[in-house]
Amino acid sequence: MDQTPFTRPVSTASAAGGDRISQAPTVFADGYSEGVPAAAEPAPGLDDLRPPTALANRASAAFGEGSPSNLSVADSPQPFANLPYRNSLAPTAAGSAQHLGDSDKEAAAAGSDAPLGASPSPDLGQQSDEHGAPKNSRKKLFFILGGVAALAIIAVAVAVPVALTHTKKSSSASSSASSSSGSGNDNNGSGQNGGPTSSGPTSSAVTGSDGSTITTENGTTFTYVNKFGGSWYDDPNDPFNNNAQAQSWTPPLSQAWDFQNDPMRGVNIGGWLVPEPFIVPALFEPYVNATPAAHDEWTLSQAMAADTANGGLDQLEKHYDTFITEEDFAQIAAAGLNWIRLPIPFWAIEKYSDEPFLEGVAWKYALKAFKWARKYGLRINLDLHTIPGSQNGYNHSGKGGQINFLYGPMGLANAQRTIDYIRVITEFISQPEYTSVIPMFSIINEPVVTSIGKDQLTSFYLQAHDTIRNITGTGTGNGPFISVHDSFQGLAAWQDLLPGHDRMALDVHPYLIFSSVDRSPLAEQITKPCDSWASDMNTSWTNFGVSIAGEFSLAINDCGLWVNGVGAGTRWEGTFGDGDGVQGDCTPWNDYASWTQDTKDNFKAFALHNFDSLGHWFFWTWKIGASSLTGKIESPMWSYQLGLQEGWMPDDPTQATGVCGNTSPAQPLTAEMIGGAGAGDISATVRAADPWPPAQIQPGMNANNVPVYTPTGAIPTLAMPTPTSGTADGWYDAADTRPIYTPIAGCTYPDAWGSADATNPGPCGGTTNAGTTDNTDTLARRIRRVRNVIPQPRRTPAP
């Protein structure tokens, strides 16, 4: 069995023997195998809630038994007889229509139902532009440095960009001051350590609305089109200004997001910083016959690295630089959307030496995303999409096949590493410069609880919650909402998650296509979201609090190039797994150019029913890239942008308001759910029931007898954009000084990504207590923090 020694400098100890577990491989259509944990058999009724194989690219519908994935219209004359019918979310309170779209305002005026909670919580209210006092001591230093900087500006007559401090700057949105920097440099993370700097001129205007001209960092221009009253704002001298507004009904970034009354209408930017085969097939197609064949980012990275003639691994940066650009963000706001869910990989922070990923470069482009979102008034739900060891074995987790997060001999060590990456990201996004742009943090994408175990995952959620809140503090305005995925168990399974938590949100990914096949025509499936999902969303909103649909699509079958994985086939054509036989031909579903107007109209109606039933949602995904072999987009049901261009996606998402009806509205959020009184008060009883680390690591290993890491590593602080000024340094809480977990020197660990049947060597150096070194440990907090700032990598020149 492979034993992979790590090479990072760490402390010393000795190895010990341990348990052995097994894992059986599953062979897929493209010829490679993925291990499915022997303990990962789905619970009764769960077959329809998760993909039958680990390779399935997206998870299935997740509302539990009775979800549409369990239903077949063709099999039942009354397919939704046991489900609530035509339920949307709760009505919006009178007097809150200032942030509503035209359709919303009309509904509110008429007293009809709209898709959100009833009355605003007195504890949420309208926040001022003042941030609460930060936990670090940078404010005094800022005033000193600010005065010195002001004198320096006068003395040398050089315009210097002025960064905001802990108090947001409230410049007038009508200001049209010209940029005085003269350099035209874009303050979004490029330029450091040989990285790119913007050479093109910036627009003399710092703000604009519909019809204004945007000049990008490379000097290209486009016309800003926004028919919904949106405005952009971008002043090089005021880089953290929050005056931009996505639409008239969406609060500008200078105002706090009101989770009670403001609908989250969002889109994922999938496939950009975490490439997936079906989203960017052209990236994978040159390497599907390589050795190993590219079917996830691990094997893609290996294949690219070997292809030095075509740029090696730097090809990934070319993808980052071209697949999504500033204009995409402007288009998202123009589409009436106000949020973005941004998947990022953990190797945007760092990687270990035996991991093939491109280290650090994705962070440079995440900084661009933050800048562009700020410029166009969009908010970000930052999604940590990949986890060390893989949390689900899917191809978008970094490496398909095995689950090694809280599962197998390296499960706890990988979880320790994950907590640290959550911590590093939290430190960055909790800086006052970013809290308005990134109000939500999704800490782990689609963990498979049937392998990991619910008790184990709950313990991890509690540890992550405490790690974040020890940095940010508790209560409204202190750090982001923490979004956790329902792990394909349905929202109802998590209604009692960590009572007393501070601002947690439940995330569900309701897909229709990854289990049974519904052969009924599209026209007969239009109301399926309302019939099946709205009641569950309302119930979760009432009982748990903020509940979102972090992913969904318009796909009514699994047609599309590599939707199930490279070479995996489709259920629709009977070529995926055992299959249910041939259901039809995918050609007409993939060939959107042949779709009739009726088909487009039906898809548009289907989209509106999705929007209204889910209430707060993020479509998966904004863009699908064309195949390099056909020159066409081969998975059209998954592209919001293409749907807008071709006329099957609503050009105004507020038109969805009320299409489901609303017979069982959600109740208003309580103050505790949104950071008011009681938030953050998790009882000792709850904590005792969910200790960290959990008592067992599946399958059946004592957590005190598995390999662990030690907290002696240098902290990889995330870099701020350059050029920048002020005291922001990527780390919010100066009291958070614990070194990060790292392998113990002299220890030989099982492969952290490998087969779970590896022999468990036990903890290196004997029994361990992995829970004594989290960031609540006062002794660890007294250790001087060693900061290892991630450099901005050099940009790969265009060919």
pLDDT digits (tens, 9 = 90+) for 72-112: 323 332 222 222 222 233 323 333 333 333 444 333 333 33
Cα 343 from Cα 340, distance rounded (Å):
10
Query: Partners of 25 in the beta sheet?
Result: 35
What mean pLDDT comes out for the span 469-481? 98
Alpha-carbon distances of 635 from 280, 562, 565, rounded to whole Å:
10, 9, 12
For residue 703, pLDDT over 70 is answered with yes
Give 308's DSSP letter. Answer: G
For residue 401, pLDDT over 80 is answered with yes
Q: For the segment 720-757, what is each residue's pLDDT rounded down to a tens digit?
A: 998 766 678 999 999 999 999 999 999 999 999 998 77
The model's confidence at residue 213, banded by pLDDT at 50, 70 and 90, is very high
**Residue for token pair 């200032």:** 98
Joined tokens for residue 333: 């706001």
Question: Where does residue 678 rank: exposed (0-12), middle (13-18), buried (19+ CB within 10 A)?
Answer: middle
* Other C-beta atoms lying within 10 Å of the C-beta of residue 683: 11
**What pLDDT shows up at residue 765?**
52
CA angle 453, 454, 460 (to 5 degrees): 95
What mean pLDDT comes out for the span 40-68? 35
**What pLDDT shows up at residue 725?**
60
* Whether this model's pTM surpasses 0.85: no
Q: For the segment 132-149, what is each residue's pLDDT rounded down to a tens digit?
A: 333 443 433 333 444 434
Closest C-alpha to 68, from 690, 603, 532: 532
What is the b/e burial string over 34-63, where b = at least 16 CB atoms within 10 angstroms of the residue's CB? Answer: bbbbebbeeeeebbbbbbbbbbbbbbbbbb
In this structure, are residues 19 and 758 in contact, taking their beta carbons and an 8 Å threshold? no
Joined tokens for residue 310: 């075509």
Residues 6 or more apart whose CB falls under 8 angstroms from that of 530 comprise: 85, 86, 87, 88, 609, 612, 613, 659, 660, 661
**What pLDDT shows up at residue 755?**
80
**DSSP readout, 495-540?**
TTSSTT-SSEEEEE---SSSSS---S-GGGGTTHHHHHTHHHHHHH
What mean pLDDT comes out for the span 546-572? 97
**What pLDDT shows up at residue 49?**
34
What mean pLDDT comes out for the span 239-264? 97
Percent of the chain with pLDDT over 70: 70
Q: Is the peptide bond before 763 cis (omega within 30 degrees of 0)?
A: no
Q: For the segment 337-396, what is each residue's pLDDT rounded down to a tens digit?
A: 999 999 999 999 999 999 999 999 999 999 999 999 999 999 999 999 999 999 999 999
What mean pLDDT comes out for the span 167-179? 31
For residue 484, pLDDT over 60 is answered with yes
Joined tokens for residue 154: 């006068």
For residue 18, pLDDT over 70 is answered with no
**What pLDDT shows up at residue 664?**
79
What is the b/e burial string over 164-184, where b = at least 16 CB atoms within 10 angstroms of the residue's CB? Answer: bbbebbebebeeeeebebebb
What mean pLDDT comes out for the span 266-276? 98
In this structure, are residues 525 and 73 in contact, taking their beta carbons and an 8 Å threshold? yes
Q: At what angle do helices 534-543 and 597-614 cross, to 10 degrees?
A: 20
Alpha-carbon distances of 771 from 12, 247, 381, rounded to whole Å:
19, 46, 29
Q: For the segment 177-187, what is each residue's pLDDT rounded down to a tens digit?
A: 333 333 333 33
Q: What is the 3-state secondary structure (H, E, C) of 369-417?
A: HHHHHHHCCCEEEEEECCCCCCCCCCCCCCCCCCCCCCECCCHHHHHHH
Cα 708 from Cα 181, distance rounded (Å):
50
The model's confidence at residue 577, banded by pLDDT at 50, 70 and 90, is confident
CA angle 551, 557, 560 (to 5 degrees): 85
* Other C-beta atoms lying within 10 Å of the C-beta of residue 242: 23
**Helix, coil or strand: residue 295:** coil
In this structure, are residues 394 and 57 in contact, taking their beta carbons and an 8 Å threshold? yes
What mean pLDDT comes out for the span 501-526? 94
Joined tokens for residue 437: 């742009």
Q: For the segment 548-557, what is each residue's pLDDT rounded down to a tens digit?
A: 999 999 999 9
Handedness of CA 276, 278, 282, 286 (dihedral sign): positive
For residue 9, pLDDT over 50 is answered with no
Alpha-carbon distances of 101 from 329, 331, 338, 608, 790, rounded to whole Å:
20, 18, 12, 15, 42
What mean pLDDT comes out for the span 305-325? 98
Closest C-alpha to 209, from 191, 227, 235: 227
Alpha helices in 100-137 (DSSP H): 102-110
Question: Where does residue 735 rank: exposed (0-12), middle (13-18), buried (19+ CB within 10 A)?
Answer: middle
Residues 6 or more apart whose CB falls under 8 angstroms from that of 631 comprise: none
Domains of the chain with bracketed CATH: 57-127+254-674 (3.20.20.80)
In this structure, are residues 291 and 633 in contact, taking their beta carbons and an 8 Å threshold? no
Q: For the segment 644-662, what is each residue's pLDDT rounded down to a tens digit?
A: 999 999 999 999 999 999 8
**What pLDDT shows up at residue 241?**
96
**Residue for token pair 């797994």:** 577
Cα 632 from Cα 285, distance rounded (Å):
13
Comparing 414-423, 754-763, 768-777, the range with the smallest average pLDDT is 768-777
Handedness of CA 516, 519, 522, 528 (dihedral sign): negative
What mean pLDDT comes out for the span 486-502? 97
Query: Partners of 477 in the beta sheet?
Result: none
**Helix, coil or strand: residue 366:** helix
Q: For the segment 151-160, what is each residue's pLDDT rounded down to a tens digit?
A: 343 333 333 3
Joined tokens for residue 517: 């096949």
Average pLDDT, the chain: 78
> HSE of 786 in the Cβ direction (CA atoms, 13 Å)?
7
In this structure, are residues 764 and 18 in contact, taking their beta carbons and an 8 Å threshold? no
